[in-house]
A and B are shown apart, each in its own frame.
Chain A
Amino acid sequence: MIPEVGHFALILALALSICQCALPLLGAHRNDQAMMGVARPAAVGQFVFIAISFGCLTWSFLQSDFSVLYVASHSQLSLPTAYKISAVWGAHEGSLLLWVLLLAGWTVLVCRYSSELPEKFSARVIAVMGGLSFGFLLFTLLTSNPFERLLPAAADGADLNPLLQDPGLAIHPPILYIGYVGFSVAFAFAIAAMISGDLDQKWARWTRPWTTSAWLFLTVGIALGSWWAYYELGWGGWWFWDPVENASFMPWLIGTALIHSLAVTEKRGLFKSWTLLLAISAFSLSLLGTFLVRSGILISVHSFAVDPERGLFILAFLGIVIGGALVLYAWRAPSMDSEAGFRPVSRETFLVLNNVLLVIATALILGGTLAPLFVELLDGSKISVGPPYFEIAFAIPMVPLVLLMAIGMHTAWRNQAPKALVNKLRLPAMVAVVVGILIPLIFYGGTSVMLAVGAIAAIWVMLASVIDPIRSWKRGAGSVALTRGAIGMSVAHFGVGFFVLGVTVVSAFTVEADRSLRIGDRENVAGYEFELRGLKNTTGPNYQALEGEVDIYKDGDFIGQVRPQKRTYLVQKSPMTEAGIDAGWNRDLFVALGDPLGNDAWSVRLQYKPLIRFIWLGAFIMALGGLIAASDRRYRLTATQKESVRIQQGEPA
């Protein structure tokens, strides 16, 4: 009964999404108040019905209702309750339902916070989001119904994939999806602006907090995914450049470009059509990424044919959304040229460079990700593109980007006197060069060109980011405070430096060793002694495990014990490696248990990972910067108030 309620609620939501899309669009066209008035209630209603539907699926999981095919395939009686809930989005059908729920959630937020926008404009924004929702709901209902019954019901379920039974992966997809789906708001704003044909600086100001919010969730989502891969996939890597990761990273890069381009459009009224294109691209890449990953087309062309129905629907939907948006863009964008100018040394120039470099990086990653697909279509041979390509292709635009970032944030709009800039940045530059070369030498006993470049760039950005906050703090009370926008920018850029430092040091000084150990054996890796003390059997709620006890010593002193496990999940009979990690702010010691090698010996992977925590911490700092910037109060003021505030405060970015 409950699953049918959920299914029916989803159908009602589909019906409401049609109203939410069609009536406000028509109403805005005809200037009909009543029709435009449908937008908000329809959006709220849609959210309520999708929430009911989502609740029904969750309930079916909690009740272990194995007469529902999706539940029977992805849950099991002894699965811990928390994972019964996260199993809801553990596979294709449920994650689609989560996607539409979040889309409806963002729409309700837009309804709630768009009362200051012109009525026609907000009606169109909500209508576009309703249209997107319609596509997804139709896709869910026609090809991926999570409420499909299984008759006769299974006695027990097939269990959730053991890899997904982890707190990190329970929250990673929802947060990532909030980010993906959040770009639909910027997309809808762009479409609404193009339909109405007037795109002014107010448009950019309305779009900025939404875009920044979506971006910060995407940042956290990607960082959580990377963290999870590090400790759960078992072998200590933090980024693999596989298609799934690239699919989430490309919208992030374009979203980052969009945030910066929106700054120019808001402050100076420039790059309007470029900003529109980025807003369309960010969401299109989100769509492309999710769907390509879900359909399996990126792993191989052949898995596309496994479910032609889903594949065709995906292609058609992508074609309509992206194609439609681009056609509208081609038609409308040329009339949105701007006339204001700027000098070569100005913040505008640096933001152009930022955009160019981010777009190049995205294009190179997209090329590498899709290359196997095209090669197979062209001549039938199967290739794969390995991480070395992505590392180099990504580093080439990123090194100049990070170096220029420090200068860009201290450059004034319109025209900057080069001399003042040099004076301001001379000291940080010298400190960065000295420290960037010395740190690796002193702490890690060596350096190289790439290492020095990375460390200098990282310290250079971190120093440049704190100049303004420190100056403002020194001046103390009574002086003009930095806006939240400016603080957010400083924090986010500081996070970038932090992240770059982590990546640089981890890549240069990680020590990895696969060893054969018997009980009582000691191995030295990077100055740490690892001793296998014992092995014992242990059991969890739905698995059995062999647990190793590994003591770690440094210079003869005991510093800790880790317990890596080799788990066997009882239902799927699949083995899983659970790494033992001794974490510290400046290094992780990572131990994973391999296979029995005979003669009582076990293969063990021992790793020393310096500064690896900086990678995720850097990402969280970036997201924090986004949070601060998005909460800037000028986004909540009306246009006229805004002008006077801006005059009082000078012009922050």
Chain B
Amino acid sequence: MLAVGLTVAGIAIAAMLTLQAFKDSMMFFVEISEVEKGNYPADRNFRVGGLVVEGSVQRAPGELMVAFDLTDLTSKLTVNYAGILPDLFREGQGIVAHGRLNDSGTFVADEVLAKHDENYMPPEVADSLAKAAAAQEAISKSEAAKQ
């Protein structure tokens, strides 16, 4: 009986730990326009993705800290990162960043990913760009209709 009880308790604890770990390490991908609207998980890490805006990469000379803007072509988000950027990081390239938003609305990344393929666009980024473009088109159409 004792053995059975211990086993059941052990499995229950293991299941709880696993579920907790799953909850903690699950990250949502949030589109930049949604971040701008304030629709993002406040106290946990999430992922953003977009194109690095041309000419936006800035760093203090000799320092690791780097700042750049990320766009889905309609909205913009400033990202700060202290670390080594991936090989394929460059302006105009699609990237994904993990991190969270600070109080001043800057995304503080603890990981920046760029895939090892020149033609590769992270799927989430491609999707998010397409959505933003569709929204833009809808707006310009409705404006055209008004005139």
Contact = CB atoms under 8 A, between A and B. Distances in A.
A599 interface: yes
Contacts of A300: 123-124, 127
Contacts of A382: 28-29, 47, 124, 127
A303 B123 contact: yes
A516 B64 contact: yes
Please tell me the size bucket of the interface on B: 20 to 34
B47 to A, nearest CB: 6
B43 interface: no
Contacts of B18: 364, 389, 392-393, 396
B141 to A, nearest CB: 24
A349 B101 CA distance: 52
B44 to A, nearest CB: 11
Interface stretch (B69-77, B82-90, B132-140): B82-90
A163 B116 contact: yes
A393 B64 contact: no
A598 B59 contact: yes
Interface in A374-393: 381-393
B63 interface: yes
A343 B47 CA distance: 52
A514 interface: yes
Interface string A296-316: 000110110000000000000
Contacts of A368: 22
A597 B61 contact: yes
Given A392-B18, A574-B118, A601-B61, A514 B28 contact: no
B21 interface: yes
B91 to A, nearest CB: 13
Contacts of A576: 87
Contacts of B26: 371, 383-386, 389
A652 interface: no
Given A389-B21, A393-B18, A514 B83 contact: yes
A383 B21 contact: no
Contacts of B84: 235, 514, 592, 594-595, 603, 605
Interface string A591-617: 010110111110101000000000000
A583 B21 CA distance: 34
Contacts of A163: 116
B59 A383 contact: no
A161 interface: yes
Given A392-B17, A516-B62, A384 B27 contact: yes
Contacts of A302: 123, 126-127
A440 interface: no
Contact of A393 (B21, B62, B63, B127): B21
Nearest to A393: B18
A143 B29 CA distance: 32
A389 B62 contact: no
A574 B116 contact: yes
A598 B62 contact: yes
Judged by DSSP, the binding face of B is mixed
A603 B112 CA distance: 15
Interface residues of A, number: 47
A577 B124 contact: no
A572 interface: yes
A619 B117 CA distance: 30
Interface in B87-126: 87-88, 116-118, 123-124, 126
Contacts of A387: 25
Nearest to B60: A598
Contacts of A599: 61-62
Nearest to A303: B123
Contacts of A303: 123
A575 interface: yes
Nearest to B123: A300
B24 interface: yes
B62 A383 contact: no
B8 interface: no
Contact of A385 (B17, B22, B83, B87): B22
Contacts of A572: 118
A572 B116 CA distance: 11
B24 A388 contact: yes
Given A388-B21, A388-B24, A577 B87 contact: yes
B73 to A, nearest CB: 18
B4 to A, nearest CB: 12
Interface in A496-522: 514-516, 518
Contacts of B117: 161
A389 B22 contact: yes
A419 interface: no
Most buried by A among B18, B59, B63, B123: B18
A539 to B, nearest CB: 18
B9 interface: no
Nearest to B20: A392
A383 B29 CA distance: 6
A397 B47 CA distance: 30
Interface string B49-80: 00000000001011110000000000000000
15 contacts: A300-B127, A302-B126, A382-B47, A383-B29, A384-B47, A386-B25, A389-B18, A389-B22, A392-B21, A393-B21, A514-B82, A574-B87, A595-B85, A597-B62, A599-B61
Given A303-B123, A599-B62, 11 more contacts: A382-B47, A382-B124, A385-B26, A386-B25, A389-B18, A389-B25, A393-B22, A573-B118, A576-B87, A594-B85, A600-B62
Q: Which 6 A-B pairs give the minimum distances between C-beta atoms? A: A598-B61, A300-B123, A594-B84, A382-B29, A386-B25, A392-B21
